[in-house]
Structure 1
């Protein structure tokens, strides 16, 4: 017996988890002892882009497909059908708990096969991490209600889908990480969902497809659902109160646990967006990392909407900030002034990374670097890096 075969079963299953599911299945031909190891691995990953579909002559027939019956029927299947067939067979053959399940593929709006997969997973009380990426720019697939019975989830990642169901009771008491990318939903349904996640520590909410009701989604509403949040990432346009007419002067909630804040789609000459940023910063006294992604668009013709200036916040302290990163940085005075302010008011700052937008030339890069390097520094150990993103 070889050395690997003598390893404890748990270690063998861990090794197999690092392999694509088809490669893990190929180990079944190594020996009698290896025949059933792959059907016990707790982590399953299926990716349509890397899934090996068979050719007409069978030259690239995967081990999974070789193991299943009805080869003549398989030959008539398309790649997507074969992937669904492989997933269903793996789930039927699988023994033991499934802790981590990932699926990345394109689906349409009425995908019964996908509904069956989620229903199957919902019947297991072992799923801790679920990642579903439906790779559909139209966001047509509607998540089935069975998804919301996965009460034991610790991490949930959803991309390109529709969140329309609103069960009377959400219970994601174990959920600590939620990542929502390009989902379609209503603000009331989203808040209802988040209210059932009392342990949430990491939230990524990147979507322009949140439909506002008469009330509208406000940052105040969101933060009420996030008492323990440590990492928060969102697009500026997510909230209804980002518009200047209803932007609050301060937040009623202090984000004492927030360590990392990431905001996208910012544009400082639209000064209310800068006000919104400082609103978040001042409500996050223990913030350690700030990531900003500016809009990579020339808005030079836009008018400023109020008289707010950075001088209004010159007394702001970034007492715990250790890292600042800005992408799509331009050479506008507001952006430079903001970084200069951070450098002057951050006594423990260690790293500042600036990625300029694609229109900056070498001379502009050098000018930005020189201005920042000669700026007053509150931290004696800060390193400043300026380059193209």
Structure 2
């Protein structure tokens, strides 16, 4: 009988190998689960009871509480806030990554208190935050001095007078963030280690006040930048007024340039983009997503850019290519000035006919200026249905 008991115990232990894992490994496993499920593991055994309190990653979203659709808003708000405070008050270990994405805009005041509670921590390295409302970040947010990665959605930023910057921040993403040009410049200047920025959105960016903020002012704030992505709502401000052929300071660290919804119908936009490219001697990847011009487009004169420097460019990708003259001239220019180019991919807009596609291929085949990298793989595709 004893032997049978020992066998059963050994079999049980072999089946429950996860409980024998090191504590930090178990915490990382729990961090990959929805927080509701992670909390429920506390009933498994004594060893699991408080394991979740050391999770380094916390994710708070609408799924943290499970309620039927006909529950009153006040009850939903109470349950949601109560669950978040319950987790934070019982949590004991350091929080290195925090995600807060809440669609309930009625808990803005409670979120202020949550951020105030978290602002005492110097361990939070990654913070992803968004409420589906134009939520003004409290001043306590700017005390999170350990941040290395920050993503903000649907927020409004007003920088306090005593803000000393995020000295460790390396990656920043804004999506539909309301911030004036002056404050954005102040914010970026106070983050000297930034290596990657993503500014996207639809219409909420607020560059009012008449402050000039073009690519010239922007890149002055980003001496170590390696990768950037901008959507049109930002591009139209950064390219206002056009630019000369080079920026005052060379972007020696910039490797990736991704511009979403580019339109070459304005000389300002085209000249500004070429200026950034020409000021980035180590650029390796260019990705452009085009939009249809709403009026007559400008003309790109390749003779103006004979000194264009793209010595390290490896990949070019253009999406929604309309086959307009400035687009085609841009492709030819890149092909002629990129000796290290390995791949050029063009995805055609649906408006491009088969006849235009054939003509486009013929034009590229008989370029007046030879391709700098004859071995580069050139791909023309239509969008997948």
User: For the Cα contact (< 8 Å) 2:115–2:140, is it kept in 1?
Assistant: yes
* 1:133 is aligned to 2:130: yes
Measured in 2, the distance between the counterparts of 1:364 and 1:79 equals 56
Shift of 1:285: 0.6
Q: Give, in whole Å, the separation in 2 of the partners of 1:187 and 1:374.
A: 45
CA distance in 2, matches of 1:354, 1:192: 37
1:25 aligns with 2:39: yes
Q: Following superposition of structure 1 onto structure 2, how do residues 210-229 of structure 1 map, counting pairs within 5 Å? A: 210-229=206-225
1:214-253, aligned counterparts within 5 Å? 214-235=210-231, 237-238=233-234, 240=237, 242-244=239-241, 247-253=243-249
* Mapped pair 1:11 → 2:34: no
Is the contact made by 1:109 and 1:142 (CA closer than 8 Å) also made in structure 2? no
Query: Is 1:284 the equivalent of 2:280?
Result: yes
Supply the distance in 2 between the matched residues of 1:78 and 1:387 (Cα, whole angstroms): 50
SS of alignment partner, residue 192 of structure 2: coil
Distance 2:59 2:309 in 1: 45
- Residue number in structure 1 paired with 2:89: 92
The more displaced of 145-154 and 349-358 is 349-358
1:333 — aligned with what?
A: 325
Give 1:184's match in structure 2, choosing from 174, 178, 202.
178
Rounded to whole Å, the distance in 1 between the matches of 2:305 and 2:214 is 23
Q: Deviation digits for residues 211-264 of structure 1, max 9, x if unmatched?
A: 2323322222211111111112223553646233x6345311111111111223
**Is this contact kept in 2: 1:294–1:327, CA < 8 A?**
yes
**What residue number does 1:294 align with?**
290
Q: Distance in 2 between matches of 1:212 and 1:337?
A: 34
- Mark the CA change 1:28 to 1:374 in structure 2 (over 3 Å): closer, same or farther: farther
Structure 2 equivalent of residue 311 of structure 1: 303
1:350 aligns with 2:342: yes
| Number of equivalenced pairs | 364
TM-score (ref. length: structure 2) = 0.86
Kindly indicate whether residue 382 of structure 2 is the aligned counterpart of residue 387 of structure 1.
yes
Equivalent-residue separation in structure 2 for 1:148 and 1:76 (angstroms)? 31
Q: Which residue of the partner structure matches residue 264 of structure 1?
A: 260
Deviation at 1:110, TM superposition (A): 7.6
Match of 1:101? 98
Q: Does 1:157 align with 2:148?
A: no
Moved more, 148-157 or 32-41: 32-41
Is the deviation greater in 338-347 or in 364-373?
Answer: 364-373
CA contact (8 A) 1:84 1:113 kept: yes
Change (3 A) 1:334 1:115: same
Cα deviations by residue, 1:332-373 (Å, 9 ceiling, x for unpaired): 122122112212221111122222334335555565456556
Residue in structure 1 matched with residue 48 of structure 2 by the alignment: 34
- In structure 2, runs of 5+ residues without a counterpart are 1-12
Deviation of 1:312 (Å): 1.7
Q: Which moved more, 1:88-97 or 1:260-269?
A: 260-269
Give the whole-Å Cα distance in 1 for the aligned partners of 2:264 and 2:341.
22
In structure 2, the residue matched to 1:142 is 136
Contact 2:243-2:275 at 8 Å conserved across structures: no
- Quick check: 2:198–2:230 contact (8 Å CA) kept in 1? yes
For residue 65 of structure 1, what is the aligned residue in structure 2? none
Aligned to 2:67: 54
Q: Using the alignment, how far apart are the partners of 1:324 and 1:151 within structure 2?
A: 37
Cα distance in structure 2, aligned partners of 1:205 and 1:111: 24
Q: Distance in 2 between matches of 1:236 and 1:248?
A: 21
Higher alpha-carbon deviation: 103-112 or 122-131: 103-112
Structure 2 CA distance for aligned equivalents of residues 124 and 17 of structure 1: 19
Residue 190 of structure 1 and its aligned partner are, at CA, apart by 1.1
DSSP 3-state at the match of 1:34:
helix
Moved more, 312-321 or 101-110: 101-110
- Residue 345 of structure 2 aligns to a residue whose secondary structure is strand
Secondary structure, counterpart of 2:49 in structure 1:
coil
TM-score (norm 1): 0.85
What is the CA–CA distance in structure 1 between the aligned matches of 2:72 and 2:211, rounded to whole Å?
Answer: 53
SS in 2 for 1:250: coil
1:359 aligns with 2:361: no
CA gap of 1:5–1:349, structure 2 versus 1, over 3 A, is same
Counterpart secondary structure, 2:121: coil
Cα distance change on mapping 1:374 and 1:11 into 2, 3 Å: farther
